[in-house]
A and B are shown apart, each in its own frame.
Chain A
Amino acid sequence: EIVMTQSPATLSVSPGERAALSCRASENVNNYVSWYQQKPGQAPRLLIYDASTRATGIPARFSGSGSGTEFTLTISSLQSEDLAVYYCQHYNSWPLTFGGGTKVEIK
């Protein structure tokens, strides 16, 4: 199965600053990567699919980039409500797999 590795595990960012979250696939997944945001006690929320397409209703400060094996989720100007854990997931082939997550903290 394809292993998705996220870094860093924890990211501390001041409000208004930029946050960049990394996700690496163990083999080529083309652009079949989604990003999810999960807040405590909630189900995951889809932010980005196909590596760079924002899901419905997602603010423009969230953007995704990459293809092949390297992917990035960028939050251009961090807001307090962005405190959450962020997961990448590939859907290039079965089984789908998630990365281990990056916890974004407000500095």
Chain B
Amino acid sequence: QVQLVQSGAEVKKPGASVKVSCKASGYAFSSSYLHWVRQAPGQGLEWMGIINPDGGSTFSTQKFQGRVTLTRDTASRTVFMELSRLTFADTAIYYCAREGGEYWGQGTLVTVSS
């Protein structure tokens, strides 16, 4: 069965970077794009960007351009989202989701705290 398993919760200081992983299983890794979506506490869903595991091409929203790096490791079937220059406003649950929206990771809580 399709599964997306994300790395555990993180606590970071303002100005630091965080790298969240999303390990895929149960399907052909290179066959589907993977999205990153975040949700601040009590807020709605915010789409951040997308990566094509086949070749590694990426697209991210203008809001995050220059701060977000999306990568993948085909050997481990894992995609990564690194967000730099963290501020308190980046405190959120970060989700990966497979193209089509039917499969989501469990979410990774990133807390930015001094």
Residues of A at the B interface (CB closer than 8 Å) are 1, 34, 36, 38, 43-44, 46, 49, 55-56, 85, 87, 89, 94-101
Smallest beta-carbon distance A99→chain B, Å: 8
Contact: B44 with A95, CB < 8 Å?
A: no
Q: Closest Cβ of chain B: how far from A80's Cβ, in Å? A: 23
**Chain B interface (Cβ within 8 Å of chain A)?**
35, 37, 44-47, 49-50, 59, 61-62, 95, 97, 100-102, 104-107
Q: Does B59 lie within 8 Å of A94, measured CB to CB?
A: yes
User: A26 to nearest B CB, angstroms?
Assistant: 15
Known A1-B61, A95-B59; judge A44-B104 contact (CB<8 A). Answer: yes
B44 touches A100 (CB 8 A): yes
Supply 7 further A-B pairs (C-beta < 8 A) apart from A36-B101, A94-B59, A96-B35: A44-B37, A46-B100, A55-B101, A87-B44, A87-B45, A95-B47, A95-B59
A36 to B35, CA, bound (A): 15
In the complex the two chains form, is B59's CB within 8 Å of A49's CB?
no
Asked whether B101 lies within 8 Å of A49 as measured between CB atoms, the reply is yes
Which 5 pairs between the two chains have the least Cβ-Cβ distance?
A43-B104, A46-B101, A98-B45, A95-B61, A96-B47
Say whether B61 contacts A43, CB under 8 Å. Answer: no
- Measured CB to CB, the closest approach of chain A to B31, in angstroms, equals 17
